[in-house]
Amino acid sequence: MKVGFVGLGIMGKPMAKNIIKNGYEVVVYDFHESAVAEVVAAGATAGLSGKDVAEKSEVIITMLPNSPNVEAALFNENGIAEGLSAGKTVIDMSSIAPKASQSFAEKLAAIDVDFMDAPVSGGEPKAVDGTIAVMVGGKTDVFAKYESLLATMASSVTLVGEVGAGNITKLANQMIVAVNIAAISEAYSLAKKAGVSPDAVYQAIRSGLAGSTVMDQKSEKIFSGNFEPGFRIELHIKDLQNALDTSHDINVSTPFTSLAMDIMQSLKAHDLEKCDHSAIANYYEQINNLKLQD
């Protein structure tokens, strides 16, 4: 099976390399020639454009920042859609608005091309290890056809519903992570002001009910004050915007997500949008005039 891959950024590069390692022929395209060269060195063929990649592949994976980028990659001049024909499939693994996924699926169905949204969770280290989690929206038969391809990049691949359901699941994930980091930062602030070491609090409660993967992965960053990404605040703002737009569209009240968004906007106003999202702790440090470092 020939696989096209468009979008070779922090996530796309290692994901494409894992597909190659599993024996698939892969054709790649990105605006950044250095990213293309790196994946070609790992065994891919360089495509000239999205159109060229789609002409040469049976299934085309996209891994791009947000809905407008996916729309441009699909439908702009020389884009993927121009190289598609009946029977091919597009799998968009970007984290985008569920409504956008549904609209792309409709447009592509008109030319007999299948579409699935398959965003991922796990970040760069898991993309490199091939252990990301993939949450898929699409038809059962299309999923069955490409499940083993997706499994070359992942430790779990789950069909969660029709097209759009993958990105609904990803938004749920991003809401939980943002609110969780805020809750942890808030609790550590209380401990610090009360004269109890936040690290001692973490060690004491991490295996209890309050413990979480977020707590384990982000506490060390909070205690070291090292907010190198990881997952950038600007990308999390994009996800929370999509979550709020979606919840308002379908009339769901999401007050904690709104609060988490407000905190991230404040961090952006302080030029911290390139920091890891664990810099939410920095917001609590500012409003409480304290430092969470031990």
The catalytic residues are 170
Task: Tell me: does residue 8 bind ligand NAD (CB under 6 A).
Answer: yes
CB of 13 vs ligand NAD, minimal distance in Å: 8
Task: Tell me: does residue 63 bind ligand NAD (CB under 6 A).
Answer: yes
Provide the residue type at 164 as one letter.
Answer: G
Task: Tell me: does residue 71 bind ligand NAD (CB under 6 A).
Answer: no
Name residues contacting ligand NAD, limited to 220-259 (CB under 6 A). Answer: 231, 235
Region near ligand NAD per CB under 6 A, out of 69-77, 100-108, 200-208, 252-260: 69-77
CB-CB neighbours of 281 under 10 Å? 28
CB of 213 vs ligand NAD, minimal distance in Å: 14
Provide the residue type at 288 as one letter.
Answer: N
CB of 61 vs ligand NAD, minimal distance in Å: 12
Task: Tell me: does residue 37 bind ligand NAD (CB under 6 A).
Answer: no
Region near ligand NAD per CB under 6 A, out of 7-15, 159-167, 176-184, 251-259: 7-15
Q: Which is nearer to ligand NAD, 56 or 186 (CB)?
A: 56
Task: Tell me: does residue 279 bind ligand NAD (CB under 6 A).
Answer: no
Q: How would you class 121 by CB atoms within 10 Å of its CB: exposed for 0-12, middle for 13-18, buried for 19 or more?
A: middle
User: Which residues contact residue 167 at a Cβ distance below 8 angstroms, ignoring those fewer than 6 apart?
Assistant: 95, 96, 97, 98, 101, 117, 119, 137, 242
Task: Tell me: does residue 6 bind ligand NAD (CB under 6 A).
Answer: yes
Contacting positions for ligand NAD (CB under 6 A)? 6-12, 29-32, 35, 50, 63-65, 69, 72-73, 94-95, 120-121, 123-124, 231, 235
